[in-house]
């Protein structure tokens, strides 16, 4: 009986002590889990590799571009000329009568699909056997660069001419001689770029009696004179 009484308290004590480690283990389990997770994030296989300065800059820029709206562009071209002037009043009356004898000084404007962008006036007359034709054309581009590109294309297309100084930003003249059914016609073309505008003067002549054409100098000087007056009308208008 004594032996059993001594054994019973020992067993009761053991029964009471068994839950203590289990409870302690339950309380410590979250700590262990959190510690393990912390190790995995900081030092373990889930740890992020340190970013270099270059990568950080790229990420910063990417975040900045995503979070900030793009600034409005300030590179839009400013047009010096927004519309073409009236071409039939771009030349003085005496200029018209000297270049195209017998022509009406009012001229005739050629129909255009967009008069803000392109306008052309034409004068022509036959006096005796001499025939003369003069066109003045204004073309307005969206920018100086567009006008320069068109100017270079025209110069390339009509090669063989030369530069015209003292007019616009750039000037070019070329004279060609054509013959059809033994009738010669000489035509001079002057192209001038002024900012975002192109001014083109086309002047031609022929003699139906002799079937000869006027001289190169006469046609070239006439075309240049008309072009310079037209450019002055553009810039003054």
Sheet containing 130-140: which strands, arranged edge to edge?
A: 108-110, 118-127, 130-140, 197-207, 183-194, 170-180, 162-163
Taking the whole predicted model, whether its pTM rises above 0.75 is answered as: no
Q: Within a domain: residue 81?
A: no
Maximum mean pLDDT: which of 17-21, 67-71, 156-160: 156-160
Q: Within a domain: residue 80?
A: no
What's residue 237's pLDDT? 73
What's residue 77's pLDDT? 55
Q: Within a domain: residue 100?
A: yes
Q: Are residues 96 and 199 in the same domain?
A: yes
Q: Are residues 51 and 131 in the same domain?
A: no
Q: Are residues 143 and 195 in the same domain?
A: yes
Average pLDDT over residues 211-237: 96
Q: Within a domain: residue 222?
A: yes
What's residue 94's pLDDT? 97
Q: Are residues 135 and 202 in the same domain?
A: yes
Distance separating alpha carbons of residues 36 and 41, to the nearest angstrom: 9
pLDDT digit string, tens, across residues 62-121: 444 343 333 333 334 578 999 999 999 999 999 999 999 999 999 999 998 898 899 999
What's residue 113's pLDDT? 86
Q: Within a domain: residue 186?
A: yes
Q: Is the pLDDT of residue 139 over 70?
A: yes
Q: Are residues 206 and 135 in the same domain?
A: yes
Query: What is the domain range of residue 21?
Result: 2-63
Q: Within a domain: residue 106?
A: yes
Size (the chain), residues: 237
pLDDT bin (cut points 50, 70, 90) of residue 134 is very high
77, 140, 143 from 74: Cα distances, Å: 9, 22, 14
Q: Is the pLDDT of residue 57 over 90?
A: no
Backbone φ, ψ for residue 183 (5° rounding)? -95, 120
What's residue 78's pLDDT? 74
Q: Is the pLDDT of residue 31 over 80?
A: no
Burial of 234 (0-12, 13-18, 19+ CB in 10 A): buried
Average pLDDT over residues 137-165: 96
What's residue 199's pLDDT? 98
pLDDT bin (cut points 50, 70, 90) of residue 23 is very low
3-state secondary structure of 87: helix
Q: Kindly state the tokens that stand for 60.
A: 């910063």
Which residue from 115, 194, 193 is spatially nearest to 155, judged by alpha carbons? 193
Compute the mean pLDDT over every residue in the chain, rounded to the nearest whole number. 78
Q: Are residues 124 and 190 in the same domain?
A: yes
> Among residues 14, 31, 63, which one ends one of the domains?
63
pLDDT bin (cut points 50, 70, 90) of residue 141 is very high
């Amino acid at each position: 009986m004594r032996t059993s009484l001594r054994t019973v308290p020992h067993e009761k004590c053991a029964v009471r002590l068994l839950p203590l480690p289990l409870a302690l283990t339950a309380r410590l389990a979250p700590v262990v889990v959190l510690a393990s997770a912390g190790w995995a994030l900081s030092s373990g296989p889930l740890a992020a590799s340190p970013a270099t300065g270059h990568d950080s800059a790229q990420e910063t820029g990417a975040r900045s571009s995503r979070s900030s709206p793009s600034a409005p562009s300030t590179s839009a071209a400013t047009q010096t000329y927004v519309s073409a002037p009236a071409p039939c009043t771009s030349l003085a009356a005496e200029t018209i009568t000297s270049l195209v004898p017998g022509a009406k000084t009012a001229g005739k404007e050629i129909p255009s699909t967009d008069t803000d962008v392109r306008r052309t006036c034409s004068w022509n007359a036959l006096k005796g056997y001499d025939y003369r034709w003069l066109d003045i054309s204004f073309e307005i581009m969206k920018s100086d660069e567009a006008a320069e590109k068109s100017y270079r294309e025209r110069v390339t297309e009509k090669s063989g001419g030369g530069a015209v100084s003292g007019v616009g930003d750039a000037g070019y003249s070329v004279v060609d001689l054509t013959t059809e059914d033994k009738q010669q016609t000489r035509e001079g073309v002057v192209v001038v770029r002024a900012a975002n505008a192109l001014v083109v003067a086309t002047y031609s002549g022929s003699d139906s009696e002799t079937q000869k054409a006027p001289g190169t100098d006469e046609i070239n000087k006439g075309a240049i004179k008309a072009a310079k007056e037209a450019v002055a009308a553009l810039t003054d208008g």
